[in-house]
Amino acid sequence: MNQKKPFVTLEQVQEIVKKYPTPFHLYDEKGIRENARRIKQAFAWNPGFHEYFAVKACPNPRLLQILKEEGFGCDCSSYTELLMSEAVGQVGEDIMFSSNVTPAEDFALAAKLGAIINFDDITHIDFFEKIAPFPETMSCRYNPGGDFKIENEIMDTPQDAKYGMTRPQLTEAYRKLMSKGVKHFGLHAFLASNTVANEYYPVLARLLFQTAVELHEETGAHIAFINLSGGVGIPYRPEQNANDIMAIGEGVRKAYEEVLVPAGMGDVAIYTEMGRFVMGPYGCLVAKCLHHKHTHKEYVGLDACAANLMRPAMYGAYHHITVLGKEDAPCDHKYDVTGGLCENNDKFAIDRMLPEIDDGDYLVIHDTGAHGFAMGYNYNGKLRSAEVLLREDGTTELIRRAETPEDYFATLDVTGVFKK
């Protein structure tokens, strides 16, 4: 069976747990920085290229700070994500605000920070007008409907997505915004999630480039940037091939040269909003085996649960598991790897072939750097774990402490019942 190699060893974990008990999410600073530089290299052909990291994927200010140091901006979709971005020094057009069903206070803060606002719906234009003046640069989100296909393979179904405007609405929105004084426009679309196909971005880019040319011809609007959003995925399964970001960048460049340049639009900047590809492989959940259960199946019970990593319970998503110290042992035991929630779907793996696991063993659950800790919750009164950064020099840094019972009760303690 193919295996993934964790970025942390048993010896390192044994040292880390002396300060930070399991479970915790661990992040690899070296891997994050190296990946950020590859992304910038892949799109270096476009002078205006800018990656706006999707904050929702991993909302931790220390990690946002690292990405800022690497030249990335922030893609925000809520009031608190805007506040977090501001806290690490991201302001102005280093923030892209792409939201939906947006409260007035969110638009107001985005406008105050000078963020590029990306309208999800044409009705938001009139809504925004009551909140803040229109800046010179704004963007609109496109939903072409139908199925999104690559070589006749359906990648996703935009027609079922709640996001974005129809094609006729885009033209109307541009004209309306031009009448409000907007001078520079962006075009944005997210049409498929977690694609492990080098063709996704180039096919999406060609669609958006052609649409941008049409919009320019119809309205005379200056298209300043095209935002390919996210959707570039990672290989959660060890047998999957990873996306080649250099090939992806080259595919987008080719479409750019074939569509935009002949239309006299060779000044368009390319933006991306990747979360999973930027951070996913560079985070893991470290947990300890607490119990074994021998009934109709063989169960391994961890001190982590779905409250720490929701994707397997929510989507049936695969996350690879390494038993630290037993990387070379045969995977000859079949387990359900579970947490302690009172829900039967609280399982990190079902019928997974692994080395024999003993109580006290440390397990690494891979690829939790995006939509891992971020999707945590407090069901059953479970407390969210710490987040720890493995620095480039091998030392560790606590970048979020673990929750305490006092944290859990803080919003309930309106009468002082739980105060000590």
Q: How far apart are CA 269 and CA 273, in angstroms?
A: 13
Domain ranges across the chain: 10-25+281-410, 29-279
The count of other CB atoms within 10 Å of the CB of residue 295 is 6
Residues 6 or more apart in contact with residue 265 via CB below 8 angstroms = 212, 213, 216, 223
Query: In degrees rounded to 5, what are phi and psi of residue 106?
Result: -70, -45
Task: Give the relative orientation of helices 104-113 and 79-87 as an angle to the nearest 10 degrees.
Answer: 20
Q: CB–CB of 299/346 below 8 Å?
A: no
One digit per residue, the tens of pLDDT, for the chain of length 420 reads 468 999 999 999 999 999 999 999 999 999 999 999 999 999 999 999 999 999 999 999 999 999 999 999 999 999 999 999 999 999 999 999 999 999 999 999 999 999 999 999 999 999 999 999 999 999 999 999 888 777 767 666 888 888 999 999 999 999 999 999 999 999 999 988 899 999 999 999 999 999 999 999 999 999 999 999 999 999 999 999 999 999 999 999 999 999 999 999 999 999 999 999 999 999 999 999 999 999 999 999 999 999 999 999 999 999 999 999 999 999 999 999 999 999 999 999 999 999 999 999 999 999 999 999 999 999 999 999 999 999 999 999 999 999 999 999 998 877 777 766
The dihedral over CA atoms of 260, 134, 48, 282, expressed in degrees to the nearest 10, equals -110
For 203, the token pair is: 């096919």
Q: How far apart are CA 229 and CA 374, in angstroms?
A: 19
Which region, left, alpha or beta, applies to residue 130 given φ > 0 means left and ψ of -120 to 50 means alpha?
A: alpha
- SS3 of residue 332 by DSSP: coil
- Global pTM reads 0.95
Q: Classify residue 122 as exposed, middle or buried by CB count within 10 Å of its CB (0-12, 13-18, 19+).
A: middle
* Beta strands in 86-217, from DSSP E residues, in sequence order: 95-98, 116-119, 137-141, 148-150, 153-156, 184-188
Q: How far apart are CA 368 and CA 6, in angstroms?
A: 12
At the fourth CATH level, which superfamily is domain 10-25+281-410? Lyase, Ornithine Decarboxylase; Chain A, domain 1 (2.40.37.10)
CATH code: domain 29-279 is 3.20.20.10
The count of other CB atoms within 10 Å of the CB of residue 22 is 22
Residues 6 or more apart in contact with residue 105 via CB below 8 angstroms = 79
The kind and range of the H/E element at 170 are helix 167-179
State the Rg of the chain over Cα.
23
The kind and range of the H/E element at 409 are helix 405-410
* Beta strands in 146-282, from DSSP E residues, in sequence order: 148-150, 153-156, 184-188, 222-227, 269-272
The count of other CB atoms within 10 Å of the CB of residue 296 is 6
The per-residue pLDDT for 154 is 63
Query: In degrees rounded to 5, what are phi and psi of residue 398?
Result: -75, 115
Among 224, 228, 220, 172, residue whose Cα is nearest residue 203: 228
Q: How far apart are CA 109 and CA 115, in angstroms?
A: 9
Q: CB–CB of 336/298 below 8 Å?
A: yes
Query: In angstroms, how far apart are the furthest CA atoms of the chain?
Result: 71
Q: CB–CB of 170/208 below 8 Å?
A: no
Q: How far apart are CA 145 and CA 158, in angstroms?
A: 5
Q: How many residues does the chain have?
A: 420
Residues 6 or more apart in contact with residue 68 via CB below 8 angstroms = 88, 89, 90, 94
* Beta strands in 252-393, from DSSP E residues, in sequence order: 269-272, 283-294, 298-302, 321-323, 333-338, 347-354, 362-365, 386-390
- Would you name the residues annotated as active-site residues? 342
The kind and range of the H/E element at 50 are strand 50-54
Q: How far apart are CA 270 and CA 389, in angstroms?
A: 30
Q: CB–CB of 171/148 below 8 Å?
A: no
